[in-house]
Amino acid sequence: MSGPVSNFMSAPVSVIYQDDYILAVDKRAGTLIHSDGTARTSGVAAETLTDQVRAYLEGNGCLQQARNLQALHRLDRDTTGIVLFSLNKETQSLFDALISNRDLHKYYLAIVRGEFPEKERDIALPLGKDRHDARKMRVSKTGKPALTHVRRLEVRCEDSGKRSLMLIELGTGRKHQIRVHFSALGFPIVGDCLYGDAASREPLMLHAYELVFIHPVTGENHTLRTEWPALFSGWSVQNL
């Protein structure tokens, strides 16, 4: 960790699972997993999820695990939900391989604008960088293959129009993949100011809900799941 960190260091973390090799936590909105080089107006680096988890480990006497700590995947700043960390340098490569071989199955929840027309669909649209906006990705014929499996769970009519609750499984893990795919079909995620919901004052309605995998060290089957997110209160969990 480089540079000074803000005074509200050691924000509590919500631990979902922990063993000698990995730790899973439920990330809040607005938190970066790693520093992106930005700073607060005071010139002090913003606290990251990695900082918070390291402080949690140190506070519980897990000093070697705190030194070995490494995030195994990423979520966007405003996406909430489950993030997996490696705690052991000797076994980290096993978990890296789990991800690169697509044996770590990632499930998300999202609320999109409009009534998504199909009960289930595979969205296969290649993605590349947006040449006009460095922050964004876009659908591109020359981009990298990207596959998103989606299932519609519920549709509601609200004052602002219809909305659909979607369950998503990533087939690939491109940057902003879920957000770009829904936007490209005309169903932007609620609160996604970057990809088509610019007028919204709501938070981003995208949550990493579940990870399913076989533990490469113990051989055990794992399903790690967050609590039903507060942002989705009132929507049905019964259809999962």
Q: What are phi and psi of 64, to 5 degrees?
A: -65, -40
Task: Based on the residue annotation, tell me whether 76 is a catalytic residue of this protein.
Answer: yes
pLDDT attached to residue 160:
84
Kindly report each contact of residues 37-44 with a partner whose C-beta sits within 8 Å and lies 24 or more positions away, as own/partner.
40/6, 42/6, 44/4, 44/5, 44/6, 44/7
pLDDT attached to residue 6:
40
pLDDT attached to residue 239:
66
Which amino acid, residue 218? T
Identify the residue whose tokens are 């990423």. Answer: 74
* Spatial distance between the Cα atoms of 59 and 238, rounded to a whole number of angstroms: 38
Active-site annotation holder among 19, 20, 26, 76: 76
Q: What is the pLDDT along the chain (240 residues), one digit of tens a residue?
A: 333 344 445 678 999 999 999 999 999 999 999 886 654 545 556 799 999 999 999 999 999 999 999 999 999 999 999 999 999 999 999 999 999 999 999 999 999 999 999 999 999 999 999 999 999 999 999 999 999 999 999 999 988 899 999 999 999 999 999 999 999 999 999 999 999 878 788 999 999 999 999 999 999 999 999 999 988 988 877 666
Q: Which domains does the chain carry?
A: 1-101 (3.30.2350.10), 105-226 (3.30.2350.10)
**What is the chain's length?**
240
* Spatial distance between the Cα atoms of 36 and 77, rounded to a whole number of angstroms: 10
CA distances from 119 to 112, 127, 168, 220 (A): 14, 24, 12, 32
User: Against a cut of 0.95, is the pTM above it?
Assistant: no
pLDDT attached to residue 4:
38
pLDDT attached to residue 3:
39
